[in-house]
Structure 1
Amino acid sequence: MILSFDYGIIGNRIKKSREKKGLTQEMLAEELDVSNAYISKIERGKTQISLDRLSELCYVLEESTEYILNGSDSTSDDYLRNEIMVMLEGCSAEKVKLISQVIKPIVEYREK
């Protein structure tokens, strides 16, 4: 089985983690001994990241690789809710409306 990752979503998680730590792109780049442009490309999902670099980045950001790659963070009870919110951030109003129409019946369904 071949795994496929959405580097845009991964980059967004990295950016949010960096901001949560109070780091600028420049500060993170310095910690990792890479260019600011490289960090920018990673955060925008424009370049892939090696496993070694991901490990270093997670160490600096104090995040798990599981969270950065999959959005799941076993330390958070609301990780799925948070992941859905992150996915919705990049959607147009039309797409959000469509998603709402799909999930509304599921949310309103009452099990007997």
Structure 2
Amino acid sequence: MSFDNHIIGNRIKKAREEKGITQELLAESMEVSNAYISKIERGRTPVNLNNLDKICAVLETSPEYILHGTNTTTDEYMRNEIIDMLKGCSAEKIKLIAQVIKPILEFKE
């Protein structure tokens, strides 16, 4: 299994920004350079497992989310997956998706 460093870097950046943490603060807390964090976030360098663990601890996220885009340790993981899937969809596709989802949501069990 291979990993896309750009996708991993984007997930790290997103998690960092959601926590309101700067690259400098993340680097300082991990005892690495700001340039290293920047390279990871831009997909220029892979993150090793030891540093991935540190990043996840600081950002309070899971390696599962960083590596695979899912975080089953939270109740919101599927909601976030759906939101991520909708990003970049055209208005027409979103309209079609809404037409499919609406009857499901209205269905009474």
1:83 paired to 2:81: yes
Picking from 4, 7, 21, the partner of 1:6 is: 4
Percent of pairs identical after alignment? 56
Question: Which residue matches 1:60?
Answer: 58
Deviation at 1:64, TM superposition (A): 0.9
Note if contact 1:73-1:79 (Cα within 8 Å) is conserved in structure 2: yes
TM-score normalized by structure 1?
A: 0.71
Picking from 53, 67, 71, the partner of 1:73 is: 71
Superposition RMSD in Å: 2.8
Aligned length, in residue pairs: 103
CA distance in 2, matches of 1:55, 1:68: 10
Q: Report the CA distance shift for 1:74/1:51 in structure 2 as closer, same or farther (over 3 A).
A: same
Note if contact 1:71-1:79 (Cα within 8 Å) is conserved in structure 2: no
Q: Note the residue ranges of structure 2 that are not aligned, 5 or more in a row.
A: 105-109
The one-letter code matched in structure 2 to 1:42 is I
Deviation at 1:81, TM superposition (A): 4.2
Q: Note the residue ranges of structure 1 that are not aligned, 5 or more in a row.
A: none
What pairs up with 1:11-26 in 2 under 5 angstroms? 11-26=9-24
Note if contact 1:21-1:61 (Cα within 8 Å) is conserved in structure 2: yes
CA distance in 2, matches of 1:19, 1:79: 18
TM-score normalized by structure 2?
A: 0.72
Residue-by-residue CA offset, 1:65-105 (whole Å, 9 max, x unaligned): 1111111111334424423544665x5xxxx34x939x75x
